[in-house]
Homo-oligomer: A and B are copies of this chain.
Amino acid sequence: MNEQHSWVASANGHADFPLQNLPLGIFSPPGGRPRAGVAIGDSILDLEALLATGLLQGDAATAALACEGGRLNGFFALGRQPRLALRERLSVLLSEGNDSRAVVRDCLHLASECEMALPASIGDYTDFYVGIEHAKNVGKLFRPDNPLLPNYKYVPIGYHGRASTVRPSGTPVRRPKGQTPPKEQGGGPGFGPCARLDFELELGIWIGRGNAMGESIPLDRAEEHVAGYCLLNDWSARDIQAWEYQPLGPFLSKSFITSLSPWVVTAEALEPFRCAQAPRPEGDPQPLPYLWNAADQAEGALDIQLEVLLQTAHMREQGLAAERISLSNTRSMYWTVAQLVAHHSVNGCQLQPGDLFGSGTLSGAAPGQFGSLLEITEGGKQPLLLASGESRRFLEDGDEVILRARCVAPGQVSIGFGECRGRIVAAS
């Protein structure tokens, strides 16, 4: 076990950012322009400033240099080796007793005083649907006897999302307007502010190295194309979605905003939290060969605890803390991240550094583990009762949704992702 402590005191025992995490992001210090940094405890290490000290050499310096320009796309494009070199060097520099700590300390900013931006310019954003319990829960609302469609256990279902409205945690979520379903069969739609506004708890995946158009990425090379992970809230307007989505899928019901936690937790930091893919239930089909190999089954899944908290305007006014309304896990993914990459590129589709995947909503099978209000309230039929005495069928103006993630494994220092927050503001 790597129990190494840091001379950055706040890092030791930090819920999200101990020395063992070292996620990258883009931050602006007070009055400064956006730049790349690494989260360590309650501080952010400025990579440009660190590079200027001369304490980075070789691949680590190459990696830090590629982080310049206020976005991490160039860093993502480098692939694993330089990323790992930077990680190892930062780990040494930030470790307890390191001789250069006086110099490195001058490169730190207090995170609470900085503003976070998106870590990269997103070329394309793809949202998958691989949380099988969510697919079952939603399918049951429409087809109680046969919730999963015939393709579900063969195809990692996904669709293209809107890249232009992906925003970092903290960006207000304006309630969208749109067409809503007719009140009566055969009638015309309504129009107005969404009345069934929802969140969706997802894992975000940052693509690293890309592929040329026309070339597929084989499953056993797929991990080399993943740079890191974040939390993703796929805000959803259920009424708009129900009316618009046939036959080509969700569109305006999702494209008003998608929120991300701003730190890129690297594939290397998550290594200790990899696990075997859950065995497919008896009767489930064997995946096609391009989606299956033994190594991916043995260690291609991730064990990340996920939680959703809700704080209403009333709770804030009363000084009440946010209430946890869901506790889930990435183990509910029916396909591994490597399988998503292999599937996405099997037709020759080009992936590029800074492309973003969403996993799809990650719900568990039981109440208390659902990743959307659609599931928690059974489509709005069963209100969610809150400790504050309030209840919710869908989100109201002033509600704030907070996503968190935590990685725990025996003999390992736990790490987290930081928060993905968004507060609902009234329609304009």
Chain A residues with a Cβ under 8 A of chain B: 123-124, 129, 149-151, 154-155, 157-165, 167, 174, 176-179, 182, 186, 188-189, 191, 213-216, 237, 240, 243-253, 255-257, 285, 288-290, 343-344, 346-352, 355, 428
Contact = CB atoms under 8 A, between A and B. Distances in A.
A151 B181 CA distance: 9
Contact of A285 (B158, B188, B428): B188
Contacts of A290: 191
A16 B214 CA distance: 31
Given A159-B251, A248-B250, A214 B174 contact: yes
Nearest to A191: B288
Nearest to A240: B347
A207 to B, nearest CB: 10
B155 A255 contact: no
Given A160-B251, A165-B350, A246 B149 contact: yes
Q: How many copies does the complex hold?
A: 2
13 contacts: A151-B246, A154-B179, A157-B244, A159-B248, A160-B161, A160-B162, A163-B163, A164-B352, A177-B216, A179-B288, A245-B247, A248-B250, A257-B348
A358 to B, nearest CB: 12
A244 B155 contact: yes
A245 B215 CA distance: 22
Nearest to A167: B213
Given A179-B154, A251-B158, A174 B124 contact: no
Contacts of A149: 246-247
Contacts of A349: 162, 164-165, 252, 255-256
A388 to B, nearest CB: 28
A255 B347 contact: yes
Contacts of A186: 150
Chain A at the B interface: mostly helix, strand, loop or mixed? Answer: loop
A351 B252 CA distance: 12
A216 B192 CA distance: 13
A164 B124 contact: yes
Contact of A158 (B237, B240, B248): B248
Contact of A249 (B124, B155, B249): B249
| Residue from A161, A179, A215 whose CB has the most chain B CB atoms within 10 Å | A179
A163 B344 CA distance: 14
A176 B214 CA distance: 8
Contacts of A161: 160
A161 B249 CA distance: 11
A266 to B, nearest CB: 23
A164 B248 contact: no
A76 to B, nearest CB: 14
Contacts of A252: 343-344, 346-347, 349
A94 to B, nearest CB: 36
A256 B164 contact: no
Most buried by B among A179, A248, A350: A248
B347 A237 contact: yes
Contacts of A163: 123-124, 163
Nearest to A350: B164
Given A123-B164, A165-B348, 9 more contacts: A154-B179, A154-B188, A154-B189, A159-B249, A160-B162, A164-B350, A188-B285, A215-B428, A249-B249
Nearest to A190: B288
Among A174, A285, A348, the most chain B Cβ lie within 10 Å of the Cβ of: A348
Contacts of A214: 174, 256, 428
A357 to B, nearest CB: 12
A390 to B, nearest CB: 26
B162 A124 contact: yes
A159 B241 CA distance: 12
Contacts of A344: 252
A150 B184 CA distance: 12
A257 B215 CA distance: 12
A176 B348 contact: yes
